[in-house]
Structure 1
Amino acid sequence: MPDEHEFARSTEPFRRELLAHCYRMLGSLDEAEDLVQETYLRAWRSYGTFEGRSSLRVWLYRIATNACLTALRNRSRRALPSGLGPPADDPDISPDYGTSLGVAWVQPIPDALVATQQDDPATVVATRESVRLALIAGLQYLPPRQRAVLLLREVLGFPASEVAAMLDTSVAAVKSALQRARARLDEAAVGGERLTEPTAPHARALLEQYIAGFQNADVQALERALRTDASIEMVGTRTWFSGIATCLRYLTQVVGSSGDWRMAPTLANGHPAAAAYLRGVDGIHHAFGLGVLTTTRKGIARVTVFSGGPELLARFGLPPTWEPPLAKRPAPEQKSPRLGVRG
C-alpha cells in the first residue's frame, strides 16, 4: 500500500484545479465534487504503480477526465433557461415550472472553491474566465470527448500528445476534435463579449447598485444598473426575459416593498453575485438564492437567478437566515454597573 502521508502531500495541491476541471466538464458542483472524490480514490488505489512516465498532474487529469467521461455517458446536457427557447414577452405570466421537468440545470460555483487570494493574480483571472456561466453553458453543447479535448488543450494548455495519451486516442483525433469543438462554440456565440473583472471598481459599483435597488425596492436604481439589452433568467424554470422594458416590468413585481429583501455580496463563476434573503411572514429574512451578474463597462448585461435556498447559500459560507454585516450590527446593550451600596 502507498504511504498515506506521501500520497496526500503529493496530490492535495491539485484538488482545487481538479474540482474546476470536473465542474467545467459537468456543469454541476455537486457532481464535480463527487468526481474529484472518485479521482482521488482511483489514484490512491493505483498510486503504488505510478511509474512517473508522465507528471503527477497529467496522471491525475487523465483519471479525472476519464471519470467525467464515464459519468457523462447517456446523460443529457445541463442548461440555462436561455438555452432552451426564446425569451418570454409577458412577465405577468407565472414562470414555466411545469414543462421544465426532466431538465438538468447548470449549477453555480463559488469563486472561493476554485481560486484563492494566495494564487498568482494572472492565474485567478484565467480561472475565473474559465468558469464563467456563458462558457459553462456553452460547453454543455459539445459532445463529452470534444468538451474534454477543448478544456485540456485550450483552458489547461496540455500539448496534443499528452491529451491524446490521456484519452487513449491519436494526436490527429485530438486536433480534429478541437477544431470541431471550436466551430461549435463559435456557433453558440460563446465568449464574444468582454466582461469586467468581478473585483474591479466598476463591477463592485454595479453590484452595490443592484443590491440597493432590491433592498430599497427602487426599480429606478435597477434601471440605471441594467443595460438596455439586459436579460434575466430564472434557473429551475424555462422562463427568461430580454430587453430592459420587459425586465423592468418583471422586477417591478418581485422587488416588493422596501426591506423585503436583504442581500450579501459574493463571487460566483467569475462574476459578482448577490446572495438574496426574502422576508417571510415571521418577519425573518430567509435564504432565497443567488443572483449572478454578468457585468460590462456599459452595465449589467444579464442576471442569472438560482433559487437554491439555504442549501445553495451554505455553499458560499452564508447562513440560512439574514445576518447583517458585523459593522452594521447594533452594539450590545451596555448595562450600568450596580454600585455596591448597602441600604
Structure 2
Amino acid sequence: KKSRLIKAIGESYKNSFFWKVFEPEKIAPPNSSDDLPPEIAYVTTLTKCGGHRGSIDGAAVLFHSIRRNSYGWIPMQSQSDSVDFDSSLWPKYGGKGGKYRYKAYVIVDPQASPTIKDKHGDCARFMQSIGWTVLHRPPLVPLFEIPTGEASSGHSSASFDELVKAGYIGVQRPKTGDTARRPGEHPNKLRMLMYNDGCCGDTELLKLHTYGLVGHELAVHLDFDSLILRPMDDLFDVMLGKQKDDKVVESLSIAKLPQSKPVDFSRPIDAAFTRDYNSVKSPSPKSPVGYQGGFLIVRPSLTVLERYRKILQRGEFSLNPRKGWGNKHGGFYGDA
C-alpha cells in the first residue's frame, strides 16, 4: 500500500509541475455565418500511449465516422459519374452526411503529450496527422497537494498558479456532517480510490473539460471505442431548442422514445447521456442511474465546469457505505 501511495503522489506531482512551464492551447472561434450550420465539437481523451498502439486504430475509425456523419460529407457513390454503384451495397444508415459541421479535439494527459519525443508521444502525433486538434488541459483540482516550497521557487505559468490555488481533492471537505470523513478513515483513502478507479483513474476527469469548449454551441465526448453510425441531428436540434412549435416537437422521432421522466422538448437541454445498466451493481429500475462514461453531449459552460471543480475540492464521496458524491449515488463501476 505504501508503494502504491508513493507512486500515486509522484505521478500527481509530475502532472502538476508539467503546468509550471506550459499553458493550455487557446481555441480559435469557429467560422460562422448565416450560410453555415453550427459547428459541433467532438471530443475524446488520450491519457496514455501504450506499447500496443491499439487506441490509434480506434481514433482513426472514430474520426472518419464523425466526418461521414457531418455537414459537407459527400458519399462515395456521388463522387463519380463513371462508375455504376449499386445502392443496395451501401449501409442503410450513416455515411450520408448531416446538418451540422464538426471540429474534432483530443484532450491529452501530459504523459501522452505530443511534446514528448519518445514513443509515449506517438499516439497524439498520429492523431494530429489525421485531423484531430490536440488540447492540453490541466486537472481541475490536483489529486494531491503541491509541495509549497517547490511551488514558490522560480517563475511559473498562470495555469500552475491556478493549480496551487485549487488545492487538492478534498481540501474543502466538511469536518462534520453526513459527508465528512468517517472516524478512522485514512486521509488519502478517497484520493487513492480515485487514482485506481475504473479503467483510467483520476485522469478520466479530463473529460469534464468538454464543458470548456464554449466557442461551440454543443460538444460531444466519445471514447475511442465509439462509432457513429448515423447523424445525431434530431438530438442536436432538440438540445439547441430549435423546435418551438408544439406540433413540431410532437413529430420528433426522439420525443417518441421511452422516457424515464417527462421532458420539455420546447426548452433547450443542457446535457444528454445514455444509461449503462451493465455498470450498476444489482441493476433494477430503482437503481441509481449509471451512465456510459465515454458518451456525453453537453452545452459548454464555464459555470458548470467551475461547479465540478468545487465538487472535487469538497471531496464529499461517501465510502462506508459507498453512496458516492454527496451521498447521491454510488455502487457502479468507475463511480469515483
**TM tier, smaller:** under 0.3
> Taking CA–CA contacts closer than 8 Å with sequence separation of 6 or more, which of the two structures ends up with the larger relative contact order?
2
* Structure number with higher helix proportion: 1
TM-score (norm 2): 0.26
